[in-house]
Structure 1
């Protein structure tokens, strides 16, 4: 897996929406119970509180497909039963909209690595997509891709009751749009090969390789939840982003491409005889 660190593709205007999305994701994570270290108490109490929070605000595939809430959900409290201490369950005391939960789930993350990885991709590739689409259209595009990814995953896992969280479905749409709009843009990446080797590669290779990995993983390992990766949501979001960005491709100016560069190094000239 390659790690992108920077793209050679300047923007004409400040990507305020991309910055606002990153700030909102970080702020929500820091205020989540337990996830950002914002909740005290025992480890079990933090877990029970976090489970209750996720059930209320995360997207649950079974709820999206059948459009109904379960009869029993975690209440966030700790109880002691015949098998020891555990999280108490009871009837939900909230009125949850499954459709709205897809939106709120886009701002929830299961840990620092999950959050920072998503924000890195959004920061690198989101600014140019926003620059091409404009602020308002880009935000609507981002939300639509997130919904496509969430519902697409739910349809493939209709009986799953595990919470689906993270911005990766919407960000996958951003990656798909970038591939369509700027396939020849150069992207600096770190490739793990004994050490992290810096290379400058074309966007079509970086993002195409990322998509192939997601597609391969989704074919046999599609899963949801805070401890596993919803690869199928990434695939659906990526394809939705490509489809929505395609009408903008004819009027998109090509990114600057320094001449004579091959994989980040200046290629030697070839002379004819």
Structure 2
């Protein structure tokens, strides 16, 4: 299912969400100008490599490069479908979470769920030497927050029926729950050694943390007004 828009209107301009989207797109446009061999080096330099993280912890090597890679990896993507898919989900769902949290809190939230997604992937595949790139863990955190904050929202989506895509309006709870179940199913399957190129446990970890953080970071609504 491909989300196009939701039914919740933001009260504020989502400057942080739009900035994140623009940065991701600009970085990807720069990526396509780099030769494949050099781009592979970029992935290893700025992506998150589980084995490298553990090696740093056990050997006492400087932590700064590894800590930085948790953030830089969120802004690098492995292909145009990867970046467009992530940014589309962020466009549809992120503005409402920024509206609920406020600009600064949303930025901290986004980075936090992305980092937790990276940690979840490392725990699930600690010896991997393949760099993880993409905003998927952070975007999953936004979805986790959205299902808690806006359960009654509806999502206009393109839904595949056989070989034809049809426009359908789907309750946000159903749309996001189906997405999460798919990630969980594939994540469990990957633990059995199934080959895949998707960091499903980064999605799962980011999603769960997003659902937790929105409960603690978001202001409460009292008689129709937001209160810290």
Q: Which runs of 4+ in 1 moved over 4 A?
A: none
Structure 1 gap segments, 5+ residues each: 40-45, 71-94, 255-273
Residue 212, structure 1, aligned to residue 211, structure 2: no
The structure with the larger Rg is: 1
The alignment partner of 1:188 has SS state of strand
Partner of 1:198: 167
Q: Is the 8 A contact 2:117 2:205 kept in 1?
A: yes
| RMSD between aligned residues | 2.2
Say which structure is richer in helix: 2
- Written as runs of structure 1 = structure 2, the 5 A alignment for 1:104-183 is 104-183=72-151
Whose relative contact order is higher, 1 or 2, with alpha carbons under 8 Å and at least 6 apart? Answer: 2
Q: How far, CA to CA, are the matches of 1:189 and 1:253 in structure 2?
A: 32
Structure 1's 69 and 163: CA in aligned 2 closer, same or farther, altered over 3 A?
A: farther
Q: How far, CA to CA, are the matches of 2:96 and 2:136 in structure 1?
A: 18
Partner of 1:251: 221
Q: Deviations over 1:160-203 (max 9, x none)?
A: 10000000100100000000000110110111003111111110
Structure 2 gap segments, 5+ residues each: none
Q: How far, CA to CA, are the matches of 2:58 and 2:64 in structure 1?
A: 8
Structure 1's 214 and 253: CA in aligned 2 closer, same or farther, altered over 3 A?
A: farther
Q: How far, CA to CA, are the matches of 2:223 and 2:75 in structure 1?
A: 32
Partner of 1:237: 206
Q: How far, CA to CA, are the matches of 2:166 and 2:222 in structure 1?
A: 31
Q: How far, CA to CA, are the matches of 2:171 and 2:222 in structure 1?
A: 17
Q: How far, CA to CA, are the matches of 1:16 and 1:154 in structure 2?
A: 31
TM-score, normalised by the number of residues in structure 1 = 0.75
Q: Deviations over 1:134-157 (max 9, x none)?
A: 000000000000000001111221
Q: Deviations over 1:60-99 (max 9, x none)?
A: 01122232699xxxxxxxxxxxxxxxxxxxxxxxx97111
Structure 1's 252 and 160: CA in aligned 2 closer, same or farther, altered over 3 A?
A: farther
TM-score, normalised by the number of residues in structure 2 = 0.89
The alignment partner of 2:3 has SS state of strand
State the aligned residue count: 216
Structure 1's 253 and 98: CA in aligned 2 closer, same or farther, altered over 3 A?
A: farther
The alignment partner of 2:130 has SS state of coil
Q: Is the 8 A contact 1:65 1:155 kept in 2?
A: no
Q: How far, CA to CA, are the matches of 2:109 and 2:188 in structure 1?
A: 26
Partner of 1:58: 47
